[in-house]
Amino acid sequence: MNSFIGKTALVTGASRGIGRAIALRLAAQGAALAINYNGSKDRAEAVAEEIRATGGRAVVLQADVADPAAVQAMFARFFECYQRLDILVNNAGITRDALLIGMKQEEFQAVIDTNLAGSYYCMQLAAKKMIHQRSGRIINISSYSGVHGNAGQVNYAASKAGVIGMTKAAARELGGRGITVNAIAPGFIETDMTAALSEKSKQAILSGIPMKRIGAAEEVAAAAVFLAGDDAAYITGQVIAVDGGLSI
């Protein structure tokens, strides 16, 4: 098992779902956490309290990652609390699903601004610190949709495909400084986003998953923690599918 004692981590969108699971698993293995949220303050505080209750260290940082000034302020507050940044997990994301011909411009732009630009803003600031440290792990949460596309998600698929391209480019730029950059592409995972789907839609999706079940956020978290640890020190620029075989 990886040990993150003495390491720090910032997880965006960590108040629920996959982000929460990643934050809790990193903390359980010794990392000091920063829990980012946009609107779910109570949930974010609950995650931090769960970490503190088991002897861990956690701070809560509000920021809309789509706003570069807010991201700048979040990183400034992070470094007031912690002197270094070892692990960045870009998990914050939104959906505004609609078919291409009916999608509104603001629906497209909002998803790009949060999922893609938000990851870029955070990566850039994290990289500046990690280059100085000559070490670091950046893990970007992409999606099955970003690899294979999905009807009704032109905006989401574009944003998550962009995250993959950005991951590969950054891995090339930062590898010589001891920094790895990888992406995870979850499939159908039990989260608030997927809970909103109709039963008919869920059954249609399950029929295409070889493992015939919905994934758990903790299973995505396990992949993230692996990529953040020493065992993954020679893995960079990769996209790890956690999807029960959906992408086969």
What's the rounded Cα separation, in Å, for the pair 234 and 221? 19
> Of 82, 120, 121, 156, which residue is the catalytic one?
156
The DSSP secondary structure of 56-100, one letter per residue, reads --EEEEE--TT-HHHHHHHHHHHHHH-S---EEEE-------B-G
Residue 18 contacts residue 95 (beta carbons within 8 Å):
no
Residue 14 contacts residue 44 (beta carbons within 8 Å):
yes
Spatial CB neighbours of 13, under 8 Å, sequence gap ≥ 6: 19, 36, 37, 38, 65, 91, 92, 93
What is the residue type of 167?
Answer: T
What's the rounded Cα separation, in Å, for the pair 114 and 125? 16
Residue 126 contacts residue 9 (beta carbons within 8 Å):
no
Say if strands 239-242 and 58-62 run parallel, antiparallel, or are unpaired.
unpaired
Query: Is 156 one of the catalytic residues?
Result: yes
Say if strands 136-141 and 179-186 run parallel, antiparallel, or are unpaired.
parallel
Residue 31 contacts residue 57 (beta carbons within 8 Å):
no
What is residue 120's three-state secondary structure? Answer: helix
- Active-site amino acid positions: 156
